[in-house]
Amino acid sequence: MSGVVTRSAAGPSVEGSFTALRTQLQDAAATFAEGPDALGEILLGIVDDVDRAVREPLEIFPVCHHSPASALAMARRLREKQPKVVYLELCEDMAPLLTELRNCTLPVAVQAFAAEIEGFPAEWAPLSVVAPITEASAEYQAIAYALETPGVELVLVDRSSDHVFQWEPRDTAAPEAPADPDAPPVEEEAALHGDAVGVEIGDLRPRFAQLEEHLLRHGRVRHWSEWWHQYVELPLGDKDSDYATYRQVMLLIGSLFRRLAPGDARRVQVDEDRERYMWTRMREHLAATGTDPADCLYVCGAFHAASRVDEFGVDGTDGFAISPPGGTKWQYGLIPSSHAAIEAQFGLAAGSVSIAATVWQKNLKRNGVAPYRLVGQGAAKKTAAAAKKAVAKKTAQIPAQAPAPAPDDAADKLTGFLQRPPVIDRLDEAELLGWSVDIVRAARRNGYLASTADAIAVFETSILLAGMRDRARPTPYDFQDAAVTCIEKDAVPGRRDVRRLVEIMMGGDRVGKVGYDALPPLARNVHDRLAPLGLKLEQRGVQRALMDIAGRPELAACSDVLWMLRYLMPHGAARPIMGERRLGERSIQESWDLALGTHQRALIELGYEGVSVEQVLEQRLRRAAYGPKATAASVLEGVEDATLYLGSRRLADELGLRALELLAAERTVDGAPEVLRRVRRLLAYYRTSEPTLPGWIESFVKTAYAHYCTLLPTAFTDDDATVRQVAAMLGFLFSMESLALSLGCDRTQLELAVAQSHPEDPSKLALLWAAQLHLGRLTRAALRARCDELLGNPLVLPAYPRYLSGFVQALEPVPGLSDFVVEAVSNAFGRLPDRVLLPWLPTLITTLRADGAELAPLLVREAGRVFPGRLADLDAWIAPWRAGEPAQVPAAARRGKAGGVGLALLAAHPATCDAVADLLGCEGTWADPGAASADGLALVGRHPATAQAVAALLGR
């Protein structure tokens, strides 16, 4: 505090201009706090801050983000003062990009991006900082003025992007997102910035929740944006408010929030360090160029304008050492932004940035101020022309735009402002009527049953609501409430509710666009190469590209680019509808859904990785292949991709060698199925399209043959290795055998490996049998006998289905086994009891569906061959594997052989049976022995022992 006093005393000689205000505040503090202690100190401190900032020889221009009032005051002040140097609170390393704003439609964001980082925790990568710029902002006015006026220098003075992260504490991971459980899902437009860290000029908001809550409660508003709009924006954006008042009020608010912000010491530290940084940079620049501070303007957030660090001011101390940037390589670019993205990133109320944009346009019209605008900007050319006209008119009025003398800033404007009653804006009936009619029209278009009566009700309710909230003129927020009250019923008929409709009506979300010239080389290159498609790819939305490659061979190059984009960009940016790209195949016609405009940010960020898509793709493939998670299978996929998308034999060979290296080092067989699939595919491709096989694939087959032979015995017994994986190993060994042997492998290695395998798991055992069959160590008859034995043994019966699973998997290495598998499955259906069979059926189906998608057709084909095709053939059909068995004796014939001895005996001595029947309560009658069922007879014939014993007992 003492420093403050010293410096303010050293300032220009308008000493004491705030004396009256000071006395008044002191009295107030004494009255309310019953003593001039804490409250008095805060209040007087605020005045001191304002006083000091106002007296600073280097003119400080305090701003607030997305404040049309700031932008308006800035435009006015720049026209008046015409400064030669503008210092701006923005990351200094972003400076070269600002000229590129000319080619963009705002809002866009300046981005600093680093994929490869040095000196930061690895989990922070990639680092990304964005600074969104909207048209209705003071910083844009400053940038446009500086870039469009010859001889004016724009100097960015805030810490660099590298320092943003240098000053982050290391213990927290990425900056946390606000976690609001009630928050609606993020819309596409709101996610435009990705997960970048946002930096913004003029972040001005109470730093502690109680103050904000208090302000909102007493301001009778719902959120911060509304408070700002009503209590700062409206009075300051007024025609009558002058620059000095604007400056002092902004300083006052900045100082207030600063002084009432206890808590987070780290945040305060970062803020103060930034202030030291900025002032140090400014003094360096002033010293280097010898510019007179009076010719400069320093644009910074009001929060920083009320700084109390020792480095503050042209005459501040030079004690702050700026640390050098780390080794991280930063890339810079412009990415499209949107109002919704800005609101989401900086925690503003939905629609507030759009409303600010609308207010800005209205303020311009009302106050006749000509804004600055970068020449050549795509958006709002019309307004630019209008602005030019206005400027012309203005210059006519003010013949000589000599630098205006410093305003009588130090004079106290605050007292007047603070004592003035709230600005009562007069009711703009025409505007409100327009809104009411428009919202009803919009509601009707969106399915609401709204009518003119609703327009009247909305109009009336808006005025009543504004009246209740102490304002004569309804704000957009009052209007929104009124519209919701009158039009919204119990259900939302369409996609958007009334609240959203009002937001859209009030300007809606505006999405920026980065123009062609401001794009990184890669993105420009992509657009150039896709030009033959004849589509406006820079536009947002999905566009359909139809390509007849056979008819127009030049489109083949476009197709190549699109396939690469599909590989590199997020889903939806380039989506093939028709046509596919597989090894050895090329489509003659393709159709694509392209949304490059919508995914512009992704394309631009791709541009940070390289200068062409080919380069980026190659880098990514190589990075994946050498990354810690790479496996032989994943690298083989990379080989395939390199061949498919890049057509690069060089890269494919390099990656192939890498796969070989990885395979040799692998100790598990997890990737075996994938490796088998990919190697088969690559082999088939090379055999058909190349004169000789590449060297790497030959070595790969050789190495893999030996590798899998070595691992086979352990894989058979290892519980972690699944049947499918073992089957894939065997598949590799059997199907690549001829190639491997021709390259010098030894078959005994395989035979030994199989001989050493002693699995216990039934499914793996079945797999081993199949392998033995393939190697000729087991005959089909022996295998069949083993299966019969299993089915005949009630103890192993429950495990039989698992043998079958093994056999099904064995189709992969031994496809010739399919007839046997059909036989085994049929036998299982025929002989397994239901309690074993039924629980297993779902397992069989899921196994076939998940693992054996390619095996199932094989089985079905075989079954079609074995089983009769027509119902009539079924009677005479005998399963081929039972063709050799003796035919079954018909039951009737068997029956004939049995004699009627037992039956006669029973009929002769019915007493026993009658007694048993009586005992059991059965009231049967004796049937004629001649007509008796023969079944019982046969049974007695087959098991005569009982009857004989009874006969002996009866003494016959």
Partner 1 sequence: MSDLLRAPAEIKYAEELDWLESVDDAPKPFAWRLSPKMIRLFVLGSEPSDGLDREIPQKWFGDRSIVERAVVTLASDRGLLLIGDPGTGKSWLAELLAAAISRNSTLVVQGTAGTTEDHIKYSWNVSMVIAKGQSRESMIPSPIMTAMEGGAIGRFEELTRSTSDVQDALISILSEKYISVPELDSDNIVFAKPGFSIIATANSRDRGVNDLSSALKRRFNFVRIPVVTNRKSESEIVRFRTEELLRRHQIELDVPPTLLDVLLQSFADLRAAAASAGSDDEKLESALSTAEQIGVLEDAILHSNFFGDRALTAGTLAASLVGSLTRREPEDLAIINKYLHGVVEPRSKDEGGAWPEFLEGGRNAIASMS
Binding site for partner 1 (CB under 8 A): 182, 217-218, 220, 222, 449, 451, 453-454, 457, 460-461, 464-465, 467-469, 481-482, 484-486, 488-491
Rounded CA gap, 345 and 518, in Å? Answer: 24
- Residue placing its CB nearer to partner 1 in the complex, 80 or 488: 488
Nearer to partner 1, 222 or 623 (CB): 222
Strand-pair category, 296-301 with 85-91: parallel
**CA-CA distance, 305 to 87, in Å (whole number)?**
13
CB 117 within 8 A of CB 124: yes
Smallest distance from the beta carbon of 487 to partner 1, in angstroms? 9
Nearer to partner 1, 4 or 492 (CB): 492
Which two three-digit tokens encode residue 323?
Answer: 């640390």
Tokens of 236: 């300051």
User: Which is nearer to partner 1, 460 or 789 (by Cβ)?
Assistant: 460
Least spacing, CB of residue 253 vs partner 1, in Å: 19
Residue 29: CB minimum distance to partner 1, A:
17
- Judged by beta carbon, residue 170 or residue 218, the one nearer partner 1 is 218
HEC string for 425-443: CCCCHHHHHHHHHHHHHHH
Q: For residues 139 and 90, is the Cβ–Cβ distance under 8 A?
A: yes
Taking the least distance from each CB to partner 1, the nearer of 123 and 490 is 490
Q: What is the 3-state secondary structure (H, E, C) of 206-262?
A: CCCHHHHHHHHHHHCCCCHHHHHHHHHHHHHCCCCCCHHHHHHHHHHHHHHHHHCCC
Q: In whole angstroms, how close is the CB of 67 to partner 1 at the nearest point?
A: 24
The distance of closest approach from Cβ of residue 339 to partner 1 in the complex, given in angstroms and rounded to an integer, is 23
Rg (CA), the chain: 43
Provide, rounded to whole angstroms, the least separation between the CB of residue 482 and partner 1: 8
| Closer residue to partner 1 in complex, CB, 211/743 | 211
**Residue 727 to residue 771: CA distance in whole angstroms:** 9
User: φ, ψ for residue 156 (rounded to 5)?
Assistant: -85, 130
Query: Residue 412, Cβ neighbours under 10 Å: how many?
Result: 21
414, two tokens: 């605050």
Residue with smaller CB distance to partner 1, 158 or 481 = 481
Shortest Cβ 509–partner 1 spacing (Å) = 23
Give the span between the Cα atoms of 203 and 302, in whole angstroms: 8
Which C-beta is closer to partner 1: that of 315 or that of 470? 470
Please, what is the minimum distance in Å from the beta carbon of residue 653 to partner 1?
53
* Distance separating alpha carbons of residues 40 and 31, to the nearest angstrom: 10
Least Å distance between CB 642 and partner 1?
46
Sorted by sequence, the CB contacts under 8 Å of residue 809 that are 6+ apart come out as 723, 724, 726, 727, 763, 767, 851, 852, 855
Cβ at position 465, least distance to partner 1 in Å: 5
For residue 216, give Cα distances in angstroms to 546, 650, 786. Answer: 55, 66, 85
Between the alpha carbon of residue 81 and those of residues 61, 69, 130, 407, 618, the distances in Å are 12, 18, 30, 10, 54
Residue 1 exposure: Cα atoms within 13 Å on the Cβ side? 8
The dihedral sign for the CA sequence 42, 47, 48, 50: positive
Nearer to partner 1, 72 or 482 (CB): 482
Which residues are bridge partners to 130 per DSSP? 111, 198
Nearer to partner 1, 449 or 782 (CB): 449
CB of 218 to partner 1, least distance (A): 5
Measured from the CB of residue 491, what is the shortest distance to partner 1 in angstroms? 8
Neighbour tally for 260: CB within 10 Å: 14
Choose between 199 and 466: whose C-beta lies nearer to partner 1.
466
